Amino acid sequence: MKSKKLMAIVLSAAVCASLFGYQNKSFSVKADSQTVQTSQTTQTKGNITRIGGVDRYDTAVKIAQYGWKTADTVFIAGAENDRDFADAIAGTPLAYDMDAPILLTRAAALPDNVSSEITALFAKDIVILGGTAVVSQDIEDGLKAKGYNVSRIAGQTRYDTAIQIAKKLWEREPNGKTSVAITTGNQFQYAMYGAVGSAMYHSAILFSDGTTLNKDVENLLAGDESLSGIDVIGGDKVLSVKGTLYNNRPDLFHIENYNSVDELCDGTGGLGSLNCLNGVAVASSTIFPDALSGSVLAAKSGCKLLLSDGKKINYNIDTGENNLSTGLVFGGTKVISDDVISQMQGMLNKDYATPNVDGLKDSDLVPFADPAFKKDAEKALNKTDITVADAKSATSLELFQNASDGGEQINSLDDIKFFPNITVLEIHYGTLPDSLIALNSMPKLKYLAVCDNCKYNTSSINALSNNISFWVDDKEVSH
């Protein structure tokens, strides 16, 4: 039975989600009754919302209106030319970290509706992404004259600008550059593919092109012991990571071997699991601006960003991905057709049976790897010889790690995989295991709580999915 404390946590979290959805990075956008939807270009069909404006700048404004009632900080990026995508995409993780929308501008002058939206958001700080060639000095000076605190993050090239943005992100993260994504700076689809995931996991996006890893990128990453992984988006026909860093630490690199945009947008190529997400967002695979502003909203809403040719989505949903309820479409019908919305509706709110782990039958006993987890789980379910069906029927799990309550210190949480339907995990006493990776694969887990002086590692908590809120006793702790 859940403790009163746990019930308070769940109830309190439910209230916070309904009242403060704009601040909650894992909220479902459509659940927030305060969302601004005054424009005719924001249209809802079932649980799917299309957000589009008369042009790229207006679409970015509509996205900001939809996702933010107020914002202390607003990012501005250039989007006038086809090669202006890099700065905004590289800025997505930082904007997400600061809960800031990304608005777009012409190079010479800020569109009037963009200026009006900055005012409507009650912004105090403006962050310009890129140099004066993409966002002019006149724009910067004009914003300063209006009383905004304006800063600019820029380098000599798009590669250097991404590095400068990464440094700003790492300044805000106590664990520094634990992971990064590297991709080409010449085709927006590759960077956009990884933008939402990078944002949600506070991972910087860096660019490299040519036959070896960009030297400035290599120098930035070399010798950093906190770096645990480098996700390379694109095969050897797109970019190369050869060089000293790769030769010395090849284990760091995980290469997603897509050698064409068609491969990238083809779900059979390994688009990635949608477990632990709230829904999907769709943007054009041929026109980049809508996806630039939409990427931050997608991350804020807990949505995987899919790229579409405007006619269809090349993605077959996994039967295990049964937790999707939100759909967002960025751009009007000329960019993304209503046929795509129909396809999205088939992806959402599916009530699939949860597949058993490791091919086990419902009648099989759960093969616990950690005897302590087994003992604590038996106490939680008030029975011995827990079957797969027993574990699947549990919607919450309360584990006591002290001997006086009949429990033991758990060494690993990997056995949590046998409990796919729990929404709440509460652990009392002892120490929370350092590795929480297994929790990020739980499709329905929303709350992790530690109680009664249960110790925990802050860096481990920071690695939790943003869809899982963390509580210490009866107080939520940000991560």
Structural domains of the chain in order of their starting residue, each with its CATH number: 4-8+355-477 (3.80.10.10), 35-345 (no CATH)
**Predicted pLDDT at 373:** 93
Residue 424 structure tokens: 């709440």
Q: What is the pLDDT of residue 324?
A: 72
> Residue 317: its pLDDT value, please?
54
Q: Which whole number is the average pLDDT over 390-405?
A: 84
Q: Is the pLDDT of residue 173 over 70?
A: yes
The mean pLDDT value of the chain amounts to: 82
As a whole number of angstroms, the distance between CA 285 and CA 452 comes to: 50
Question: Can you tell me the mean pLDDT for 244-265?
Answer: 82
Give ∠ CA 112-185-105 in degrees, rounded to 5.
Answer: 5
Query: CB of 346 within 8 A of CB of 313?
Result: no
What pLDDT does 425 receive? 92
Q: Does the structure show a pLDDT above 80 at 99? A: yes
Does residue 60 have a pLDDT over 60?
yes
Distance CA 222, CA 230 (A): 12
Q: Are 368 and 377 in contact (CB under 8 A)?
A: yes
Q: What is the pLDDT of residue 468?
A: 85
Lowest mean pLDDT among 112-121, 281-290, 470-479: 470-479
% of the chain residues with pLDDT over 90: 39
The burial of 336, by beta-carbon neighbours within 10 Å (0-12 exposed, 13-18 middle, 19 or more buried), is given as buried
Residues 217-242, mean pLDDT to the nearest whole number: 87
What is the mean pLDDT of the segment spanning 414-434? 89
pLDDT reported for residue 302: 84
The answer to whether residue 40 scores a pLDDT higher than 50 is no
The stretches of 404-476 forming alpha helices (DSSP H) are 437-440, 458-462
Residue 366 and residue 376: Cα distance in Å, rounded?
A: 13
When pLDDT is cut at 50, 70 and 90, the band that residue 130 belongs to is: very high
- Greater confidence, 144 or 423? 144
> Quick check: 32 pLDDT over 50?
no
* pLDDT at residue 197, as a whole number: 86
CB 432 within 8 A of CB 458: no
pLDDT above 70 covers a percentage of the chain that reads 82
* Res. 131 pLDDT band, cuts 50 70 90: very high
Considering only residues 434 and 90, tell me which one the structure prediction assigns the higher pLDDT. Answer: 90
pLDDT at 343 (0 to 100): 81
Instruction: Pinpoint the alpha helices (H) of 173-239.
Output: 188-200, 215-221
- Average pLDDT, integer, range 177-184: 86
Q: Mean of the pLDDT values across residues 334-353?
A: 75
Helix residue spans in 108-201 (DSSP H): 112-120, 137-145, 158-172, 188-200
Which residue do the tokens 């990026």 mark?
Answer: 77
What does the pLDDT read at residue 10? 44
Provide the residue type at 136 as one letter: S
Give the model's pLDDT for residue 44: 67
Asked whether the predicted pLDDT for residue 268 surpasses 90, the reply is no
**Least confident residue range of 64-73, 123-132, 283-292:** 283-292
pLDDT at residue 12 greater than cutoff 80: no
Report which secondary-structure segment, H or E, holds 236: none
- The 10s digit of each residue's pLDDT in 289-330 is 888 889 999 998 888 888 888 888 876 555 344 467 788 999
In 256-317, which residue ranges form alpha helices assigned H by DSSP? 261-264, 289-300
Structure-model confidence comparison of residues 264 and 389, the more confident one: 389
pLDDT at 159 over 80: yes
pLDDT band at 201 (very low <50, low <70, confident <90, very high): confident
Averaged pLDDT for residues 216-227: 86
pLDDT of 35 > 60? The answer is: no
Do 477 and 471 contact (CB within 8 A), yes or no?
yes
What count of other Cβ atoms lies within 10 Å of the Cβ of residue 225? 6
Q: How many whole angstroms separate alpha carbon 365 and alpha carbon 377?
A: 13
Residue 33 has pLDDT above 80, yes or no: no
pLDDT at 140 over 90: yes
Q: Are the C-beta atoms of 298 and 326 separated by less than 8 Å?
A: no
d(CA 252, CA 59): 38
d(CA 309, CA 284): 6
What's the confidence (pLDDT) of residue 104?
97
Mean pLDDT of 46-72: 91
Let me know if 287 is exposed, middle or buried by CB neighbors in 10 A (0-12, 13-18, 19+): middle
Name, in order, each residue with C-beta under 8 angstroms of 376's C-beta and a sequence gap of 6 or more. Answer: 399, 400, 401, 407, 408, 410
pLDDT at 119: 97
Instruction: Report pLDDT for 276.
Output: 57
**What is the model's pLDDT at position 2?**
42
User: What is the DSSP secondary structure assignment for residue 473, as one 8-state letter?
Assistant: T
Claim: this prediction has a pTM higher than 0.85: no
Contact 90, 162 (CB under 8 A): yes
More confident residue, 183 or 463: 183
- 320 touches 443 (CB < 8 A): yes
